[in-house]
Structure 1
């Protein structure tokens, strides 16, 4: 069990979301940085989709009400435990009464606190994720507030973590071979042309060639981009159709919108591209006002990147279990 001592709006309980209900208007929700969630859970021996706390407003502070284990992944936010520095991506054991505090991010925007056993809130449609727009899931369908108490799940086989903790390399470095470096300060995001790509004629090339800026009108639903507008060769009216996270739509203004974790279930704007799933976590950590550039890839290239990322997550889980078993044998 954990007690929330200090928090802000938009800090919520999230897992990997609730797919399968978009046909009835229910958004998927889930972590904006699913890679951070999966790795944190793998380090603790949880299911990779166990619920955690997603933090995007700082400072944040909680108290552990019982002995457990935790890890802070995602943004490097200068975390401390009872005033002592906690390294990101390092799983640690804690005793009842210890206080974890997160400050302003040095790198990234969203941090995830994963707890052994996961956050145990009532599942809605198979997920514990908070849908702020729908006001359900998570903690009563709302963001966390000071004074909240959260239950944690039972741990059948707790890991015997080293006293100094168990760390993994930040995936931004560990997976550097599979992720392109920034170009002229712009985050490189890979995408595949989408259904209405051909409607944009020569403007389609400028979608790839220019850098876009993430505007202040961005949130968990979508990122609005600013830049030189791109428009179809002729005006187009479309019936609303299904959309998912990663879809890049172009409204009449000509400035694209990337659908994010709380993506609309349907929309009528033409789709110019779709961000590959393996790059969504990088968008989830991108700051408002930062620039990004799209790079075109094939379906085969996207699948290869996803296999590499999945292999890394599996390796983290196997290594964590192996190290902890070795420690148990030595003790």
Structure 2
């Protein structure tokens, strides 16, 4: 069990989401950086979709009421256990009473705390994720607050990790060929032209050529972008249509909105492009004020990147299993 000692708004319990209910108006929710959750769960011996804590407002502190194996992923900073710096992207063992502290990461927006056994909150529509807009899921459908106490789930892996922990090279480094870093201070985000792209004519090209900034009016539902407004060539009355994370819509203001993890289930704004799925985790780690440039992509490129990520995840899984087999042979 853990107890929340210090937290800010919008820190929640999340897993990989609850897809399949958009037809009845239920957003998938789930982690803004699902790759960090998946890798963390593999390291501590959980199923990929076990529930974790998504931290996006810092500092954050929790106390281990009972001991347990945990890891902190997503962040590029160092978590602290009783004041001692730990490596991120690595397993650690906490004793009862110890306090884990997460401070603001140097560059990234979010950190994820994964626990062996996951977090024992109710499963609703196949997921333990918090839906803040719906007010359900996670820990009573709301952000974590000081004094919250949450039990661990039943672990499927009972072997203690090695004393040095099981660590992994973070995706931004291991996959640097697939995910290029910022160019002139702007994060390149790959996208594919969407259904109403042709409505924007020359402004459609301006969408790709200019640098956008994530505005302060952004949250888990969507990132609103600040920049030179783009407008369709004519006013078009559109029916509402289904949208998913990654869809980029353009409201009358001309400043695009990228749908994120808590994406609306439907909307009537024209769609100019869609971010490829494998770049969504990088958007999830982009802070308010970050600069973005959209790069034209193709379905073939998106598929190739998806395969590169899948190979990375499988390598992490095989390494973890190899270490566990070696430990088992020694006991």
Give a deviation string over 1:144-172, Cα, whole Å, max 9, x none. Answer: 01111111111132243111222111110
Structure-2 residue corresponding to 1:309: 309
Give 2:319's aligned residue.
319
Alpha carbons 2:190, 2:297 under 8 Å: kept:
yes
Structure 1: how far apart are the matches of 2:123 and 2:156? 20
TM-score computed with the length of structure 2 as normaliser = 0.98
Matched residue SS, 1:208:
helix
Equivalence map 1:142-157=2 (5 Å):
142-157=142-157
- Are the counterparts in 2 of residues 2 and 62 from structure 1 also a CA contact under 8 Å? yes
Q: CA RMSD in A?
A: 1.1
2:117 & 2:327 partners in 1: Cα distance?
21
- The correspondence of residues 237-276 of structure 1 with structure 2, limited to 5 A, is 237-276=237-276
Q: Secondary structure in 2 aligned to 1:5?
A: strand
C-alpha distance in structure 1 between counterparts of 2:211 and 2:156, whole Å: 49
Where does structure 1 differ by over 3 angstroms across 4 or more consecutive aligned residues?
none
The corresponding residue for 1:14 is: 14
Q: Answer whether contact 1:78 1:106 (CA < 8 A) is retained.
A: no
Give the superposition deviation at 1:77: 3.5
Match of 1:211 in 2: 211
Which structure 2 segments of 5+ residues have no match? Answer: none
Q: CA deviation at 1:103?
A: 1.0
The 2-side partners of 1:170 and 1:87 are apart by 11
Query: CA separation in 1, counterparts of 2:159 and 2:200?
Result: 54
Give the equivalent residue in structure 1 for 2:82. Answer: 82
Residues 147-296 of structure 1: pairs in structure 2 closer than 5 A: 147-296=147-296
Aligned residues: 331
Helix, strand or coil at the partner of 1:200: helix
Task: Say whether the 8 Å CA contact 2:159–2:328 is kept in structure 1.
Answer: no
Alignment of 1:115-126 (within 5 A): 115-126=115-126
Unaligned runs of 5+ in 1: none
Contact 2:204 2:230 in 1 (8 A): yes
Instruction: Answer whether contact 2:41 2:48 (CA < 8 A) is retained.
Output: yes
Partner of 2:103: 103
1: CA distance, partners of 2:245 / 2:277: 8
CA distance in 1, matches of 2:78, 2:180: 26
In the alignment, the residues of structure 1 paired with residue 301 and residue 249 of structure 2 have an alpha-carbon distance, to the nearest angstrom, of 22
Contact map agreement 1:196 1:272 (CA 8 A) in 2 = yes
C-alpha contact 1:246 1:275 (8 A) present in aligned 2 = yes
**Contact 2:206/2:230 (<8 A) preserved:** yes
CA drift of 1:118 comes to: 0.8
Whole-angstrom distance in 2 between the partners of 1:319 and 1:279: 25
Partner-residue secondary structure (3-state), 2:109: strand
User: What corresponds to 1:63 in structure 2?
Assistant: 63
CA distance in structure 1 between the partners assigned to 2:233 and 2:121 by the alignment: 49
Moved more, 160-169 or 180-189: 160-169
CA-to-partner distance for each residue in 1:247-278, whole Å, 9 max, x for gaps?
Answer: 00001111100000000111000000000110
Q: What whole-Å deviation, never above 9, does each CA across 1:25-78 have from its counterpart, x for those lacking one?
A: 111110000111111001112111111000011111111122221000012233
Q: Distance in 1 between matches of 2:163 and 2:109?
A: 29
Maintained 8 Å contact 1:12/1:53: yes
- Give TM-score scaled by structure 1 length: 0.98
